[in-house]
Amino acid sequence: MFALLFTFGLSWGLFDWQSPPQLVSFHRKLKNVYCLEKSVQERNTSACVLFFTGGSSIMSPIIYEDVLTSVAERNVAVCVPSFRYQNLDFLIKRLSEEYREVVIAGHSSGCTVALNNCHHKQVKKVILMDPVNTRISNTTTQFNIRHIKSVLFVNAMKSYKITFEPFGLPFIPFLRITPHLLDTRNTCKIKHIDCSDYGHCDILNPVWSNLMHFTRIAVGNRVRSNAMFQSYHDWISDTWCDFIDS
């Protein structure tokens, strides 16, 4: 099954970082970055989310494009560095010079990459969507994020439990990142939002989310309509933006 999905993913651009037209240069010494933002957006008055995709950021941003476009429509830029992006420190520095603020976010195991890059003094906020800890050899060591002032956890709860309508095993049975794994300042504000009716891959574009749902790899919302996806993605966008503006 996984070999079939991998082959299907290659043929449909799941891991493709070369084809996106939204590649932006922030410095001649930096590799171009996938970026979505309003064409009339004034960067110095807007926030930028540096987003790390699933699979420790190996997944192409194309499969997240619907939700990321929804965020960009709210006047928040979204930049997605490629897998093992070189000079992330310099990229964050350049983004902090271009935008009002830089917020780091991640989905799934991309959250481990996100937390590993929260040591920059320019970054004060982090968003964790169904965070997964990939430090398998040492799962109890805390992530040092003492520069962070506020953290938002958004958990699609079907990721963590057995479901029966339809049947599905939890996508994240263990290695979940919870607040006790974060080494924060005493004044850090941590907010939790749990979405009981959604699954781990409902954040993705419908074609990919449905693939994961109907193969029972990651069961999501029972209603698989375009209206459901748009409503959920818009809710995620509003939630991110409310957190950024808080």
For 84-93, what is each residue's pLDDT tens digit? 998 999 999 9
Cα–Cα distance for residue pair 148/86, rounded to 1 Å: 23
Residue 82 has a pLDDT of 92
Q: Residue 198: which residues within 8 A CB-CB, separation 6 or more?
A: 156, 157, 158, 220, 221, 232
Residue 177 has a pLDDT of 97
- The conformation of residue 59, written as its DSSP 8-state character, comes to S
Mean pLDDT of all residues in 172-188: 93
Beta strands in the chain (DSSP E): 23-24, 33-36, 47-52, 77-80, 101-107, 123-129, 143-144, 150-156, 163-164, 167-168, 182-183, 189-195
Residue with tokens 């049947």: 167
Q: Residues of the chain with pLDDT > 70: what percent?
A: 91
Q: Residues of the chain with pLDDT > 90: what percent?
A: 73
- The conformation of residue 9, written as its DSSP 8-state character, comes to H
| Per-residue model confidence as pLDDT tens digits over 106-150 | 999 999 999 999 999 899 999 999 999 999 888 889 999 999 999
Residue 11, Cβ neighbours under 10 Å: how many? 9
| Per-residue model confidence as pLDDT tens digits over 209-223 | 999 999 999 999 999
Tokens describing residue 229:
């996806």
pTM over 0.85: yes
- Of 131, 141, 137, give the one whose Cα is nearest residue 110: 131
Residue 100 has a pLDDT of 95
